[in-house]
Amino acid sequence: MLSNIRIVLVQTYHPGNIGSAARAMKTMGLTDLVLVNPRAFPDEEASRLAAGALDVIEGARVVERLEDAIGDCVRVVGASARLRSLPLPHYDEPDKLAKDLVEDARSSPVAMVFGRERYGLTNDEIRLCSHQVSIPANPDYGILNLSQAVQVLSYEVRRAWRKHAGESTAGAGSIATPPTREQVGHFQSHLSRVMQRSGFITQPHAKTEEQLQALFARATPSRKELSLLRGWLSSLESHLPSDGNR
Ligand code: SAH
């Protein structure tokens, strides 16, 4: 189950932080590390700071875009020190987040995403996540070093796993399978396309679009419900004049 919990580091600048993050992961039993476009990797400093977690570093996957790191995940939580204005569901308490991650990870991959040392995650990257989390640190100075943020949240995951691992999964079969981020992404693009083609919104990334996407994120539709919504969008789309006639 812990092997289904992925740590994603976006465009890490200092390779030492990658090593320290790998060590933080391994101490908590996590092994799946994905690096999005790191500045320098593989790197001696990363290996040095990984210490006994060289296997995590050696097994790390490097991808170009965040989408490629999380497409197969059913819950993706972006870690941010500061709250942005994005209306995504937000975990104020990491233990609640950890419980949900462990629950989903019984059957599907999930991820926690960490940003760059200098400016964290961009709004576009956060938009690819299903949730956000902030570690409730000192309000006067609450920005943790990247690998320490990985440590704190990995520890929460381990605690939740120890606490809930023995719990029966009876009834889990009846819980509808959540969609992957890739499926949610297809739905969001479809929704945006129909809203634009119908003239409901006139420009991409409009606030309305963001608010509706947040509404669907809060509703946490199942895979089945999402495909129902896509069917509905397709049928609406078939009644719209084709682009060439507008
Ligand atoms: N200067 C950046 C923060 C960089 S810290 C900014 O202002 O956004 C590097 C990463 O560590 C962040 O992107 C975030 O993923 C994580 N992090 C640091 N402090 C955190 C906190 N209090 N809660 C959640 N994540 C945190």
More confident residue, 173 or 15: 15
Structural domain spans, the chain: 2-172, 177-245
Amino acid in position 104: D
- Looking at residue 211, its pLDDT comes to 83
Residue 240 has pLDDT above 60, yes or no: yes
The percent of residues in the chain predicted with pLDDT above 70, rounded, is 93
- Looking at residue 65, its pLDDT comes to 97
Q: Could you tell me if the CB of 94 is within 6 A of ligand 1?
A: no
Show the tokens assigned to 4. 């289904």
Q: What pTM value is reported for the model?
A: 0.90
> What is the average pLDDT across 150-173?
82
Q: What is the pLDDT of residues 88-105, one digit of tens each?
A: 888 989 999 999 999 999
Taking the C-alpha atoms of residue 217 and residue 204, their distance in angstroms, rounded to an integer, is 19
Confidence of residue 169 (pLDDT cuts 50, 70, 90): low
The percent of residues in the chain predicted with pLDDT above 90, rounded, is 74
Mean of all residue pLDDT scores within the chain: 91
146 Cα to the center of ligand 1, angstroms: 6
Indicate which atom in ligand 1 lies nearest the CA of residue 120: 13
More confident residue, 85 or 146: 146
The residue whose CB lies within 8 Å of the most ligand 1 atoms, and thus the one to mutate among 39, 122, 143, 153, is 143
**Closest-CA residue to 72 (of 232, 182, 148):** 182
Report the CATH architecture of 2-172.
3-Layer(aba) Sandwich (3.40)
- Looking at residue 174, its pLDDT comes to 46
The residue whose CB lies within 8 Å of the most ligand 1 atoms, and thus the one to mutate among 85, 91, 114, 133, is 114
- Looking at residue 78, its pLDDT comes to 96
26 Cα to the center of ligand 1, angstroms: 20
* DSSP-H helix ranges across the chain: 15-27, 44-50, 54-58, 66-70, 94-104, 123-127, 146-164, 181-197, 207-219, 223-238
Q: What is the pLDDT of residues 9-58, one digit of tens each?
A: 999 999 999 999 999 999 999 999 999 999 999 999 999 999 999 999 99
Report the CATH architecture of 177-245.
Orthogonal Bundle (1.10)
Residue 134 has pLDDT above 80, yes or no: yes
Token look-up 């969001």 returns 188
Confidence of residue 110 (pLDDT cuts 50, 70, 90): very high
